[in-house]
């Protein structure tokens, strides 16, 4: 009887799956037919008109055939304000103030896939409200060096974590009929010489480190578009790189969407066309007809250098994306909405869950403001707004709550807030050069003395320090990893007079903390928090929110500890950079080389304590096509509600090639009431334990023993189990 019931259900499932497959097949067939029929009606000029922009962010349509223009916009953590058609100035609209989320590193620090999904929904709705078709992001380049100016926009040093956050973000965004554009493909890991540097990476590092997030974005997230990076890769510009674009993206990953250039990243007509580029954006020539994919492309077709079939392939890719986002006359297309309370709540939640508590001696935090009479609030970042910085990801936020404003609003009536600036922003931002950082280290004793006075007369001192977008920005890298503006001195002096000093770091990339960790009892890393930054950070400080963020990158003690710098492979020589550290990026390097960082990857404290236990797998031996079902328990042993990020790492102690000591293979953020225990199940495919085998040009799972480690950072492993792969 039981067998019959099982068979019946299996049959039903099969029928349903087949019906679904048929439906998808039909949908795809209809789509391809529509594309073919439109192609037949188009002239060469009309086709090529779809393959290059006609202004900064728009591409012409073909009116007579009902093909609309394509509207693109930055960016990854909010919809950028409207720009002028033909220059980089803002158009001055009054209805384009947007919801601003905390940027990429903060998203990854939340380790919460649902927040990534929620962000995608909000971005999609606001992009549609602004009648945008493509929203440029997410940026999924790996954080290779602490100095990269765009680290704040990117997510992590770990390819699995980047992919895990990018996929739900893209799926949600595209569910609102807006295309994502995953960027910058590939190896745009520094801003220094980004327009000219030639990157060399081994095949193994390419496949294990730099490609996985793009692969996940395309194959799991279904990203409709990909943006080719500025730099060269193994001698060829990314936008005309046959290997990256044709071989990997199209053939290996099966990408059928639009491959566009970054703004001004096209360098040729025929070579780019043959390599697989579809859309040219941002070229610095006033006459759009002179762009590589304009008249020169028409000429190349006429001269027989680019086959017509290739033009049709490109136009087909554009039309396919238009159909997928309901642009071709589908009345059910998402209309969008802007700045709803739900959008603002999502931005708040994202900031609140991102904050990482790095240190909390004597349980100084959370602060019970009902018992406090006075607080010193110190630092330029207590009052600085950050949403409008960073260059292409800058957002005209509807509002931005600073930490000081939030403290005043929430506790100003009962607590005396003694504000002192403490340090001045001495740097000057100038696109394309980091010279503005050079003399930004002066110690301002007058400001320090004022801060010390404020700290003396207060029960607690909170210093809001870190960086700003003169450092964390597109177009140049940081010159070093130091806290600028004499902040170290300020922090030490304040701590001398007030032992209850808390430092809040607002930054999107690693900064040296060695000079302050022994001076202050409490350290909180709050990132750039978007428009709700102040509300979120104050709620964490006051304990309304229990911190649950974890570092998405290793925080080195000093720059020399991190791999690219230890090996002298940044920023390269003679415009060439070789990623000699290979697969040992981030914690893979630190843990394998046994280097103790300031704070490890995945690390973050809480106001409660958690216990991870009971790690088991469903079998002890697996075949190569099987799935490992991992189970464990997470318990909240402490007094308050909170969330722990349980992390599962893998290692293969004996293998014919070098393997990192640990590689992240799964994680789960678990929310628990005091005393509550939850059982977590994670599934890891045995095939995901593979390494990239350069000789075989493919992935190899070498039979033998594997270790699965459960922990709450890459360096705090609480349990390990051994499994065997046949
Ligand atoms: C950036 C891209 C951005 C584009 C459009 C480029 O400079 O690298 O990330 O999407 O500009 O603003």
Q: Is residue 598 part of a domain?
A: no
Residue 74 DSSP symbol:
E
Q: Is residue 720 part of a domain?
A: yes
Q: Is residue 571 part of a domain?
A: no
- Determine the distance from the C-alpha atom of residue 719 to the mean position of all C-alpha atoms in its chain, rounded to a whole number: 29
Instruction: Write the CATH number for 214.
Output: 3.20.20.300
Whole-number pLDDT of residue 697: 97
Going 593 to 594 to 598 to 603, the CA torsion angle's sign is: positive
* Residue 20: pLDDT over 80: no
Q: Is residue 575 part of a domain?
A: no
Please give the tally of structural domains in the chain: 4
Quick check: helix, strand or coil at residue 376? strand
Residues 382, 265: one domain? Answer: no
Give the domain extent around 683: 610-725
Q: Whose CA is nearest to atom 6 of ligand 1?
A: 263
Q: What is the pLDDT of residues 217-227, one digit of tens each?
A: 999 999 999 99
Ligand 1 site-directed mutation target among 71, 134, 136, most atoms within 8 Å of CB: 136
The average pLDDT across 448-466 equals 98
* Residue 45: pLDDT over 90: yes
Whole-number pLDDT of residue 5: 54
> Which residue numbers are catalytic?
262
Residues 186, 133: one domain? Answer: yes
Residues 128, 15: one domain? Answer: no
CB 165 within 8 A of CB 181: no
Instruction: Write the CATH number for 643.
Output: 2.60.40.10
What's this model's pTM, rounded to 2 decimal places? 0.96
Q: Is residue 623 part of a domain?
A: yes
Residues 533, 420: one domain? Answer: yes
Give the separation between CA 304 and CA 399, rounded to whole angstroms. 55
Residues 64, 191: one domain? Answer: yes
Whole-number pLDDT of residue 55: 98
Ligand 1 site-directed mutation target among 474, 475, 476, 477, most atoms within 8 Å of CB: 474
Residues 198, 152: one domain? Answer: yes
Q: What is the pLDDT of residues 553-577, one digit of tens each?
A: 999 999 999 999 999 999 999 999 9
Q: Is residue 347 part of a domain?
A: yes
Of 26, 41, 56, which marks where a domain is finished? 41
* Residue 627: pLDDT over 60: yes
Q: Evaluate: CB of 262 within 6 angstroms of ligand 1.
A: yes
Q: What is the pLDDT of residues 483-511, one digit of tens each?
A: 999 999 999 999 999 999 999 999 999 99
Residues 30, 112: one domain? Answer: no
Residues 78, 167: one domain? Answer: yes
Quick check: helix, strand or coil at residue 61? coil
Q: Evaluate: CB of 132 within 6 angstroms of ligand 1.
A: no
* CA angle (58, 62, 68) in 5-degree steps: 55
- How high is the mean pLDDT of the chain? 96
Residues 514, 662: one domain? Answer: no
Q: Whose CA is nearest to atom 4 of ligand 1?
A: 263
Q: Is residue 569 part of a domain?
A: no
Q: What is the pLDDT of residues 349-372, one digit of tens each?
A: 999 999 999 999 999 999 999 999
Query: 494 CA distance to ligand 1 centroid (A)?
Result: 41
Residues 286, 382: one domain? Answer: no
Residues 142, 282: one domain? Answer: yes
Give the separation between CA 503 and CA 379, rounded to whole angstroms. 10
Whole-number pLDDT of residue 610: 98
Whole-number pLDDT of residue 4: 57
Q: Evaluate: CB of 74 within 6 angstroms of ligand 1.
A: yes
The average pLDDT across 414-435 equals 96
Q: Is residue 557 part of a domain?
A: no
Whole-number pLDDT of residue 8: 59
Residues 271, 372: one domain? Answer: no
């Amino acid at each position: 009887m039981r067998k019959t019931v099982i068979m019946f259900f299996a049959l039903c499932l099969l029928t349903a799956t087949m019906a679904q497959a048929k439906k998808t097949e039909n949908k795809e067939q209809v789509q391809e037919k529509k594309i073919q029929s439109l192609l037949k009606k188009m002239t060469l000029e009309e086709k090529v008109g779809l393959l290059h922009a006609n202004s900064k962010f728009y591409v012409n349509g073909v009116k007579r055939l009902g093909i609309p223009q394509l509207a693109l916009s930055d960016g990854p953590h909010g919809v950028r304000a409207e720009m002028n058609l033909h220059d980089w100035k803002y158009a001055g609209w009054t209805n384009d103030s947007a919801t601003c989320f905390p940027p990429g590193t903060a998203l990854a620090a939340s380790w919460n896939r649902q927040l990534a999904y929620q962000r995608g929904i909000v971005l999609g709705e606001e992009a549609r409200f602004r009648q945008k078709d493509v929203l440029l992001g997410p940026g999924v380049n790996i954080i290779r060096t602490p100095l990269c100016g765009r680290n704040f926009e990117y997510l992590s040093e770990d390819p699995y974590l980047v992919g895990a956050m990018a996929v739900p973000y893209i799926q949600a965004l595209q569910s609102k009929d807006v295309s994502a554009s995953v960027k910058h493909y590939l190896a745009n890991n520094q801003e220094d010489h980004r327009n000219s540097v030639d990157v060399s990476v081994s095949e193994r590092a390419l496949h294990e480190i730099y490609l996985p997030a793009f692969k996940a974005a395309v194959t799991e997230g279904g990203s409709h578009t990909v943006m080719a990076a500025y730099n060269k890769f193994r001698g060829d510009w990314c936008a005309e790189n046959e290997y990256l674009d044709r071989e990997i993206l199209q053939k290996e990953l099966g990408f059928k969407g639009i491959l566009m250039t970054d703004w001004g990243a096209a360098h040729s007509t025929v070579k780019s066309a043959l390599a697989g580029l579809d859309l040219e954006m941002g070229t610095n020539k006033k006459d759009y007809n002179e762009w590589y994919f304009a008249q020169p492309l028409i000429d190349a077709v006429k001269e027989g250098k680019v086959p017509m079939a290739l033009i049709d392939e490109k136009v087909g890719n554009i039309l396919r994306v238009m159909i997928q986002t309901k642009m071709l006359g589908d009345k059910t297309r998402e209309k969008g909405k802007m700045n709803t309370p739900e959008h603002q709540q999502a931005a708040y939640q994202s900031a609140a869950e991102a904050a990482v508590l790095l240190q909390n001696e004597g349980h100084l935090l959370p602060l019970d403001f009902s018992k406090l009479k006075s607080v010193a609030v110190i630092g330029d970042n207590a009052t600085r707004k950050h949403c409008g910085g960073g260059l292409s990801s800058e957002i005209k936020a509807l509002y931005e709550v600073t930490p000081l404003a939030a403290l005043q609003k929430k506790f100003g009536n009962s607590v005396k807030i003694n504000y002192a600036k403490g340090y001045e922003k001495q740097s000057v931002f100038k696109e394309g050069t980091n010279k503005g950082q050079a003399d930004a280290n002066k110690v301002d004793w007058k400001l320090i003395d004022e801060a010390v006075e404020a700290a003396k007369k207060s029960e607690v001192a909170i210093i809001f320090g870190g960086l700003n977008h003169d450092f964390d920005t597109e177009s140049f890298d940081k010159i070093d990893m130091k806290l600028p503006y004499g902040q170290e001195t300020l922090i030490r002096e304040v701590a001398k007079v007030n032992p209850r000093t808390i430092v809040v770091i607002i930054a999107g990339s690693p900064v040296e903390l060695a000079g302050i960790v022994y001076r202050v009892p409490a350290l909180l890393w709050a990132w750039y928090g978007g428009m709700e930054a102040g509300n979120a950070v104050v709620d964490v400080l006051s304990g309304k929110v229990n911190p649950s963020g974890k570092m998405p990158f290793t925080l080195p003690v000093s720059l020399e500890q991190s791999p690219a710098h230890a090996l002298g492979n940044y920023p390269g020589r003679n415009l060439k950079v070789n990623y000699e550290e290979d697969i040992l990026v981030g914690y893979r390097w630190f843990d394998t080389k046994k280097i103790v960082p300031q704070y490890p990857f995945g690390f973050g404290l809480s106001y409660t304590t958690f216990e991870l236990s009971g790690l088991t797998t469903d079998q002890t031996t697996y075949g190569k096509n099987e799935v490992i079902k991992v189970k464990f328990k997470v318990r909240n042993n402490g007094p308050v509600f909170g969330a722990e990020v349980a992390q599962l790492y893998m290692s293969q102690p004996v293998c014919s090639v070098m393997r990192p000591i640990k590689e992240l293979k799964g994680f789960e953020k678990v929310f628990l009431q005091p005393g509550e225990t939850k059982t977590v199940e994670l599934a890891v495919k045995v095939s995901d334990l593979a390494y990239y085998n350069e000789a075989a040009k493919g992935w190899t799972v070498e039979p033998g023993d594997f270790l699965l480690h459960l922990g709450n950072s890459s360096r705090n492993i609480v349990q390990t189990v051994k499994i065997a792969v046949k």
